[in-house]
C-alpha cells in the first residue's frame, strides 16, 4: 500500500514567483502594442499587480488580421490530419502546464484554484481534444441532382475569424471558439477580456511550441472599445464569434452592417429559471443543485439559474434546504485550495451586484446572505444571497445580475411556472425538477431556452450545443453545430452529360 501523502501545494508561494508576460501574440511572436502602450492588470483576489498588458490599437489589429490572412491558405489546405496533429500536441502541452494555466486563471479572474485545476483547465483541454478528433470524421454530401451531373456539398472554412470573449470563463470560452475555428481550417484573431488575458496568452505560446504555424492564432489584448471595436469593423475579418453582454452584441451587429457584413455568432446574456415542482423526488438534491446553479463561479455564469421558482406547498421547506446548501459557496481565500467561492471579477463589479442586494432589501427581503467580505485585503467577495418577496415582474426577476444573488418566488400551477420562466428577454437556459415524466416533457417543450435541464441544472457537454433564444443571441458553441459558425456549405456541380 502506498502511504506517502503529497504536501498541499502552496499556491500563494507559486503566485509570488510567477512573472506573466502580458504582451500580445501576433504572427507567432510576443509583440508589444504600437507605441508600447500598456496597462497594468491586477488580481481581484488581493489586488496584486499581475502584468503589464499590451493595449492593442487599430494598427495592431491590422497587423494581426494581416498575419491571419497570410496564414490562411496553407492552414486551410493543410488537411484535417495535420491540423488534428497540431491541436492534439497543443492539448498535451496544456496538460503539462495545467497548474500554471490554472494559477494564471485564478489570479486573473478570482476563481478558486480548486475550480480552475479541476474544471476550467481540464474543460478547455477536453474541448480542444474533442474538436481535434472531430474534424477528420466530417463528410460532405452528394445531393440528388438530375442525371448527367454530380453535385458535391463540402464545408469550407470562412477565412479569418475574430473571437471576442468575456472574463467569466476566460480559457474555456476562448477554447469554445478557438478549437472549432482552427480545426475547420480558419485562422483566428482572438481578443480576450481586458481583465483576463493571461491564460490564453500562455496557450498561444504553447501553440507555437506545438507547431502551429505563425499567424494561425493571434491574440490581441486591449479594451473592447478600441481593440474589440477595430475587429468588429475590420474589412478583412470574415466572421466574428462573440460571447459577452447583450449590449455589446448590439454594437457588433451594427458594426457588421457598417463594414463588410461579416457573419456573427453571438452568445449573450441570460436570466435562467430553475422550476421546482412539489413532486420532486429528492428535494435536498434539488436544493444542492439549485445552490450550484445560482452561486457557482460567484454567480458569474451566463446560464446561472438565478430565478428559483418553487411550488408554493414546498416553498418554505425548500428555502431552508437552499440556505443550508448555500453554505458551500461562502467566500474563502481562492488560493487556499479549499471549498468555497472566490472573488468576483473586481471591486467595482461587486459594487454593482451589491446595489441589486440593496434594492432587494429595500423593495422585498433578503432571505439569507447579503454581506460583503474582505479577504486578503480585497473587498471583491460576497456571501451567497437569496432575495424574496419581490413582485414577479420586478427587475430582479428579469435582468442579469451576474453575481451570487438569486431570487426565490412561489408559484401554484404548471402554467404559471412556465409563464414566469418565459417572462424575460433572455432565453439561454432553464431547469425543471419533477418526478412526472409527462410534465417534464410538457414543460421542457414550452420553455423558451437553448438548454433545458431536467432534474439537474446547467447541463453542458462538448457534444451538445450551447446558446440562446431571444436576446441571448444566436449561433451555437460546442458540439458539431459550432462548425456552422466557422464554415459555409459549398456546392460543386459537375456536368458530364
Ligand atoms: P462584455 O460584453 O462587456 O465584454 C465581453 C467582451 O467584449 C470583452 O472582451 C470586451 O472587451 C469586449 N467588448 C466590450 N465592448 C466592446 C465593443 N464596443 N466592441 C467590441 N468588443 C467589445 O461582457 P463581460 O462583462 O465581459 O461578460 C459578462 C457578460 O457575458 C454577461 O452578460 C454574460 O451573460 C455574458 N456571457 C454569455 C455567455 C454565453 O455563452 N451566452 C457566456 C459567458 C458570458
243 CA to centre of ligand 1 in angstroms: 6
Residues having CB closer than 6 A to ligand 1 are 164-168, 173, 191, 193-194, 223-225, 228-229, 232, 243-245, 248, 251, 267-270, 302, 400, 402, 428, 468, 472-473
Indicate the top mutation candidate among 109, 234, 248 to test ligand 1's pocket, ranked by most ligand atoms within 8 A of CB.
Answer: 248
Output DSSP code: residue 215: T
Location of C-alpha cell 481581484: 44
The per-residue pLDDT for 3 is 56
- Specify the residue with its C-alpha closest to ligand 1, atom 40: 267
Tell me the pTM.
0.97
With a cut of 60, say whether residue 2 has pLDDT above it.
no
- Cα separation, 334 vs 193, in Å, equals 21
Q: Distances from the Cα of 223 to the Cαs of 53, 88, 191, 218, in angstroms?
A: 10, 31, 9, 16
The atom number, within ligand 1, closest to the CA of 244 reads 30
List beta partners, residue 454: 432
- Coil/strand/helix, residue 493: strand
Q: 330, 287 in Cβ contact below 8 A?
A: no
Rg (CA), the chain: 23
Task: State which H helix or E strand residue 159 sits in.
Answer: none
* For range 60-67, the mean pLDDT: 98
Digit-coded pLDDT (tens) for 369-423: 999 999 999 999 999 999 999 999 999 999 999 999 999 999 999 999 999 999 9
With a cut of 80, say whether residue 1 has pLDDT above it.
no
Task: State which H helix or E strand residue 235 sits in.
Answer: none
With a cut of 60, say whether residue 367 has pLDDT above it.
yes
Domain ranges of the chain: 11-268+474-491, 273-462
* For range 225-251, the mean pLDDT: 98
- Cα separation, 412 vs 312, in Å, equals 6
Q: At what angle do helices 98-109 and 170-183 cross, to 10 degrees?
A: 120
With a cut of 90, say whether residue 5 has pLDDT above it.
no
Indicate the top mutation candidate among 171, 172, 224 to test ligand 1's pocket, ranked by most ligand atoms within 8 A of CB.
Answer: 224
Per-residue pLDDT band at 77 (split at 50, 70, 90): very high
Q: 396, 417 in Cβ contact below 8 A?
A: no
- Specify the residue with its C-alpha closest to ligand 1, atom 23: 244
- Spatial neighbors of 137 by CB under 8 A, at least 6 apart, are none
The per-residue pLDDT for 296 is 98
- Cα separation, 468 vs 55, in Å, equals 31
The per-residue pLDDT for 7 is 80
The atom number, within ligand 1, closest to the CA of 468 reads 41
458 CA to centre of ligand 1 in angstroms: 20
What CATH fold (topology level) applies to the domain 273-462?
Answer: Aldehyde Dehydrogenase; Chain A, domain 2 (3.40.309)
- What nine digits make up the cell of 120? 476550467
The per-residue pLDDT for 4 is 63
Q: 185, 68 in Cβ contact below 8 A?
A: no
- Cα separation, 117 vs 335, in Å, equals 11
The per-residue pLDDT for 8 is 87
Digit-coded pLDDT (tens) for 254-299: 999 999 999 999 999 999 999 999 999 999 999 999 999 999 999 9
- Computed over every residue of the chain, the mean pLDDT equals 97
- What nine digits make up the cell of 322? 437552499
- Cα separation, 349 vs 469, in Å, equals 26
Q: Distances from the Cα of 459 to the Cαs of 292, 310, 424, 432, 468, in angstroms?
A: 12, 20, 21, 12, 14
Could you give the dihedral angle defined by the CA atoms of residues 177, 181, 182 and 187, in that order, rounded to the nearest 10 degrees? Answer: -110
208 CA to centre of ligand 1 in angstroms: 27
DSSP 92-154: HHHHHTHHHHHHHHHHHH---HHHIIIIIHHHHHHHHHHHHHHGGG---B-----TTEEEEEE
- What nine digits make up the cell of 316? 418554505
458-487 burial, b for 16+ CB within 10 Å, e for fewer? beeebeebbbbbbbbbbbbbbbeebbbbbb
The per-residue pLDDT for 277 is 98
166 CA to centre of ligand 1 in angstroms: 5
DSSP 249-306: HHHHHHHHHHTT--EEEEE-----EEEE-TT-S-HHHHHHHHHHHHHGGGG--TT---
- The residues that are catalytic are 267, 302
Residues shown for the chain: 497
With a cut of 60, say whether residue 302 has pLDDT above it.
yes
Per-residue pLDDT band at 6 (split at 50, 70, 90): confident
165 CA to centre of ligand 1 in angstroms: 6
- Specify the residue with its C-alpha closest to ligand 1, atom 19: 229
* For range 55-72, the mean pLDDT: 98
- Specify the residue with its C-alpha closest to ligand 1, atom 15: 224
- Coil/strand/helix, residue 453: strand
More reliable by pLDDT, 444 or 393: 444
- Specify the residue with its C-alpha closest to ligand 1, atom 32: 245
Digit-coded pLDDT (tens) for 83-127: 999 999 999 999 999 999 999 999 999 999 999 999 999 999 999
| Strand extents, DSSP E, 328-370 | 365-368
Q: 38, 22 in Cβ contact below 8 A?
A: yes
- Specify the residue with its C-alpha closest to ligand 1, atom 28: 244
* For range 315-326, the mean pLDDT: 97
- Cα separation, 381 vs 359, in Å, equals 19
141 CA to centre of ligand 1 in angstroms: 36
What CATH fold (topology level) applies to the domain 11-268+474-491?
Answer: Aldehyde Dehydrogenase; Chain A, domain 1 (3.40.605)
Q: Do domains 11-268+474-491 and 273-462 have the same CATH topology?
A: no
Helix, strand, coil abundance in the chain, percent, nearest 5: 45, 20, 35
- What nine digits make up the cell of 193? 477580456
- Cα separation, 133 vs 116, in Å, equals 24
* For range 427-438, the mean pLDDT: 98
- What nine digits make up the cell of 27? 504572427
Amino acid at each position: 500500500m502506498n502511504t506517502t501523502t503529497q504536501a498541499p501545494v502552496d499556491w500563494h508561494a507559486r503566485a509570488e514567483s510567477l512573472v506573466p508576460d502580458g504582451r500580445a501574440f501576433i504572427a507567432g511572436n510576443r509583440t508589444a502594442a504600437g507605441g508600447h502602450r500598456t496597462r497594468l492588470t491586477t488580481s481581484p483576489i488581493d489586488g496584486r499587480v499581475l502584468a503589464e498588458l499590451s493595449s492593442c490599437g487599430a494598427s495592431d489589429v491590422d497587423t494581426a488580421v494581416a498575419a491571419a490572412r497570410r496564414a490562411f491558405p496553407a492552414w486551410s489546405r493543410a488537411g484535417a490530419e495535420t491540423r488534428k496533429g497540431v491541436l492534439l500536441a497543443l492539448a498535451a502541452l496544456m496538460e503539462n502546464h495545467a497548474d500554471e494555466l490554472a494559477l494564471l486563471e485564478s489570479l486573473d479572474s478570482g476563481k478558486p484554484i480548486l475550480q480552475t485545476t479541476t474544471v476550467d483547465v481540464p474543460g478547455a483541454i477536453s474541448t480542444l481534444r474533442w474538436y481535434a478528433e472531430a474534424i477528420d470524421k466530417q463528410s460532405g454530401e452528394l445531393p440528388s441532382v438530375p442525371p448527367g451531373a454530380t453535385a458535391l456539398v463540402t464545408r469550407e472554412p470562412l477565412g479569418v475569424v475574430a473571437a471576442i470573449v468575456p472574463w467569466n470563463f476566460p480559457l474555456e470560452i476562448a477554447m469554445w471558439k478557438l478549437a472549432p475555428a482552427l480545426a475547420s481550417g480558419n485562422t483566428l484573431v482572438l481578443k480576450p477580456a481586458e481583465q483576463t488575458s493571461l491564460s490564453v496568452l500562455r496557450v498561444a505560446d504553447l501553440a507555437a511550441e506545438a507547431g502551429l504555424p505563425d499567424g494561425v492564432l493571434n491574440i490581441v489584448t486591449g479594451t473592447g472599445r478600441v481593440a474589440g471595436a477595430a475587429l468588429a469593423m475590420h474589412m478583412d475579418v470574415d466572421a466574428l464569434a462573440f460571447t459577452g453582454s447583450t449590449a455589446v452584441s448590439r454594437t457588433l451587429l451594427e458594426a457588421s452592417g457598417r463594414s463588410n457584413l461579416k457573419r456573427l455568432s453571438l452568445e449573450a446574456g441570460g436570466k435562467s429559471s430553475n422550476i421546482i415542482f412539489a413532486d420532486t423526488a429528492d428535494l435536498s438534491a434539488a436544493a444542492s443543485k439549485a445552490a450550484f446553479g445560482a452561486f457557482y463561479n460567484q454567480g458569474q455564469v451566463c446560464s446561472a439559474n438565478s430565478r428559483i421558482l418553487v411550488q408554493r406547498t414546498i416553498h418554505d421547506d425548500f428555502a431552508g434546504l437552499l440556505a443550508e446548501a448555500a453554505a458551500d459557496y461562502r467566500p474563502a481565500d481562492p488560493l487556499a485550495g479549499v471549498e468555497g467561492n472566490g472573488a468576483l471579477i473586481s471591486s467595482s463589479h461587486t459594487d454593482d451586484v451589491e446595489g441589486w442586494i440593496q434594492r432587494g432589501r429595500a423593495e422585498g427581503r433578503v432571505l439569507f446572505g447579503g454581506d460583503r467580505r474582505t479577504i486578503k485585503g480585497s473587498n471583491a467577495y460576497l456571501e451567497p444571497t437569496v432575495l424574496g418577496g419581490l413582485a414577479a415582474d420586478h427587475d430582479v426577476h428579469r435582468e442579469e445580475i451576474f453575481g451570487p444573488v438569486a431570487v426565490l418566488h412561489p408559484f401554484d400551477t404548471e402554467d404559471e411556472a412556465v409563464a414566469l420562466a418565459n417572462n424575460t428577454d433572455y432565453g439561454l437556459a432553464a431547469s425543471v425538477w419533477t418526478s412526472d415524466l409527462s410534465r417534464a416533457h410538457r414543460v421542457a417543450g414550452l420553455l423558451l431556452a437553448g438548454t433545458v435541464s431536467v432534474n439537474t441544472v446547467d447541463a453542458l457537454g462538448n457534444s451538445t450545443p450551447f446558446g440562446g433564444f431571444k436576446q441571448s443571441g444566436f449561433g451555437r458553441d460546442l458540439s458539431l453545430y459550432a462548425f456552422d459558425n466557422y464554415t459555409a456549405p459549398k456546392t460543386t456541380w459537375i456536368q458530364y452529360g
